[in-house]
Structure 1
Amino acid sequence: MDIATIGGLILGFVLIVWGILQGSNIGAFIDVGSVIIVIGGAFAALFVSYPLPQVLTFGSVGSKSFQNAPFEVGKIIEKVIELANVARREGLLALEEAVSEIKDDFLQKGVMLIVDGTDPELVKNILETEVANIEDRHGTNKGMFENMGSLFPAFGMVGTLIGLVAMLQNLSDPSAIGPAMAVALLTTFYGSLFANLIFNPIATKLDYKSKNEMLVKQVMIEGLLSIQAGENPRIIEEKLKAFLPPKMRKSIGTQEAEENNG
């Protein structure tokens, strides 16, 4: 689980509740009508914005912001170096035996293309096309949450207008002004809260995770093409380390590559 996402949400809500309790009570900030206007309206607009199959993925897409990446780029580099050493010692065909130990489908697919003797340029095109399609899907998924981040404040404003209209229609009745004003203000509060604490941050987290996954995929492609070209494992290691920040490069071992150097 991604502790940062969970911790951030909990901390945000705790601080907001604490702030409310300093000068009021929680009950004053709960209004069913405001909740229905903001949440109901935003999700209704989401269905208008996207096809039903895409909307039905909303929950599973959001859950990815609570999950850690299955493969870290450092571990992938180590795996590619391991494959490079196998190919250098035993030839490219020996990689077929290592396929069963590869848990990542993308890397496994790339290795099989190499083992099958596919032209390097074709291998590159196939893998890059798949990366482009993955990136497009990620963009659509992230777009749903960005869309919700803009819809919530918009429907908060809709609720505010509804409350103001109701208030203006009942100026002669002082007892009706308070509830109408509450709806007007609370819808704006709910819209800002959901947009800025939940949906916009989740969209940002999904974007970060997508970029990290694309980096891992690029490392795989570069490593596979280098293996297919018969490059020295030590050279491959240095080439792939260039994708990492300087602080992370030291954590990638070189012992096995050095043993096979030359």
Structure 2
Amino acid sequence: MNLTYIIGTVTAIAIMIVGMMFSSSGGQFVVKPSQITNFFDPSSILIVVGCTLMVVVASFPSKMLKEMPKHFGIMLNTKRFNPMYYIDQLVELAQVARKNGLLALEERANAQSDPFFKQAIMLIVDANDADKVRSILNNDIECMSARHDSVAGMYERASAVAPAFGMVGTLVGLINMLKNMNLSGDGGSSSIGTDMGTALITTLYGCVLAHMIFNPIASNLRTRDEEEVLCKMIIVEGIMSIQSGENPKSLREKLLTFVDQNQRGDNAGGKKGKAPKEKKKK
């Protein structure tokens, strides 16, 4: 579970709500819970939230939009991609190949739940040229990363659009305020406060949507992409080394360079990486 995202988002919202309830009275800060209603405006919600979502719908294909729940699952799962699991698996494959040959890896390939890992093993079992194997696998990684970039781009697009519609709401509120002003007589207008409130609250909603909702989602999706790309790079390097007949011990040392020192320390102590959960494409 991605606790940092949950803690950060929930805490940020809580701090904002508490800040909305503070009021200065006689040089002292007092808490007025009733003030929270000042920041609720149906017109602002309709303009900012509704228009932002509709622009996203208009900008991206329905297939990508339908997979939004899946995107949240991927974002919240920090244990989906475990480099140490793949390193352990590749070292075991290298040991099997060294004893029984590459053809003995076919059974191991069929037992893999990761389609990319299975494909990589089968490519060397089928005795393909090393350059061809690397080209196919690298192309798979590039295409996957491009798809992931499009998904993260959808949330970044929403993040860019939300403040813009906040400004649109501000203009709507100011226009209504000016239109309703009565410059004759005492020059007052009973709707100035309401219209001015809509003008300012829409800007608030736009900033909150962009920087507290959509931006963190896009950042977390890009982080998951980097983790998956790392695991697949480890698979490519490991498979190429197995095909060339590299020693399992040397293979482990080579693959450990892909991960940080803390993870290497766990592995040196004999702690094997846990199998990641079955992946779902974005």
Q: Residue 44 of structure 2 contacts residue 169 of structure 2 at CA under 8 Å; is this kept in 1?
A: yes
State how 1:216-227 maps to structure 2 within 5 Å: 216-227=231-242
Tell me the distance in 1 between the aligned counterparts of 2:103 and 2:142. 28
Answering whether residue 16 of structure 2 is matched by residue 12 of structure 1, we say no
| Matching residue's letter, 2:17 | V
5+ residue gaps, structure 1, are: 256-262
Q: Residue 69 of structure 1 contacts residue 209 of structure 1 at CA under 8 Å; is this kept in 2?
A: no
State how 1:155-174 maps to structure 2 within 5 Å: 155-172=165-182, 173-174=188-189
Q: Which moved more, 1:219-228 or 1:59-68?
A: 59-68
Residue 58 of structure 1: CA displacement?
3.1
Residue 72 of structure 1: CA displacement?
0.6
The equivalent residue for 1:95 is 105
Answering whether residue 99 of structure 2 is matched by residue 84 of structure 1, we say no
SS at match of 2:191: helix
Q: Residue 164 of structure 1 contacts residue 181 of structure 1 at CA under 8 Å; is this kept in 2?
A: yes
Matched length:
255
Residue 45 of structure 1: CA displacement?
1.2
| Matching residue's letter, 1:200 | N
The equivalent residue for 2:273 is none
Change (3 A) 1:231 1:254: farther
Higher helix fraction (1 or 2): 1
The equivalent residue for 2:267 is 252
Change (3 A) 1:95 1:254: farther
Q: Which moved more, 1:198-207 or 1:53-62?
A: 53-62
Residue 48 of structure 1: CA displacement?
2.5
SS at match of 1:227: helix
Answering whether residue 192 of structure 2 is matched by residue 182 of structure 1, we say no
Residue 4 of structure 1: CA displacement?
1.6
The equivalent residue for 1:135 is 145
Tell me the distance in 1 between the aligned counterparts of 2:52 and 2:67. 16
Residue 253 of structure 1: CA displacement?
4.0
Tell me the distance in 1 between the aligned counterparts of 2:127 and 2:206. 56
Q: Residue 84 of structure 1 contacts residue 233 of structure 1 at CA under 8 Å; is this kept in 2?
A: yes
The equivalent residue for 2:27 is none
| Matching residue's letter, 1:122 | K
Answering whether residue 37 of structure 2 is matched by residue 27 of structure 1, we say yes
Answering whether residue 234 of structure 2 is matched by residue 234 of structure 1, we say no
Q: Post-superposition, which runs of at least 4 consecutive aligned residues in structure 1 deviate over 4 A?
A: none
Change (3 A) 1:73 1:113: same
The equivalent residue for 1:54 is 64
Residue 79 of structure 1: CA displacement?
1.2
Residue 227 of structure 1: CA displacement?
0.4
| Matching residue's letter, 2:157 | N
Tell me the distance in 1 between the aligned counterparts of 2:61 and 2:265. 47
Residue 61 of structure 1: CA displacement?
2.2
| Matching residue's letter, 1:226 | S
Answering whether residue 229 of structure 2 is matched by residue 214 of structure 1, we say yes
Q: Deviations over 1:93-146 (max 9, x none)?
A: 111121243222111111111112122111111111111110000010000011
State how 1:102-141 maps to structure 2 within 5 Å: 102-141=112-151
| Matching residue's letter, 1:160 | T
The equivalent residue for 1:258 is none
5+ residue gaps, structure 2, are: 24-31, 183-187, 271-282
User: TM-score of the superposition, structure 1-length normalised?
Assistant: 0.92
Tell me the distance in 2 between the aligned counterparts of 1:253 and 1:85. 18
Tell me the distance in 2 between the aligned counterparts of 1:151 and 1:64. 24
Q: Residue 52 of structure 2 contacts residue 165 of structure 2 at CA under 8 Å; is this kept in 1?
A: yes
Q: Residue 81 of structure 2 contacts residue 227 of structure 2 at CA under 8 Å; is this kept in 1?
A: no
Q: Residue 38 of structure 1 contacts residue 156 of structure 1 at CA under 8 Å; is this kept in 2?
A: yes
| Matching residue's letter, 1:250 | G
Residue 245 of structure 1: CA displacement?
1.5
Q: Which moved more, 1:97-106 or 1:152-161?
A: 97-106
Residue 254 of structure 1: CA displacement?
8.2
The equivalent residue for 1:65 is 75
| Matching residue's letter, 1:128 | N
Tell me the distance in 2 between the aligned counterparts of 1:58 and 1:86. 41
Q: Which moved more, 1:184-193 or 1:111-120?
A: 111-120
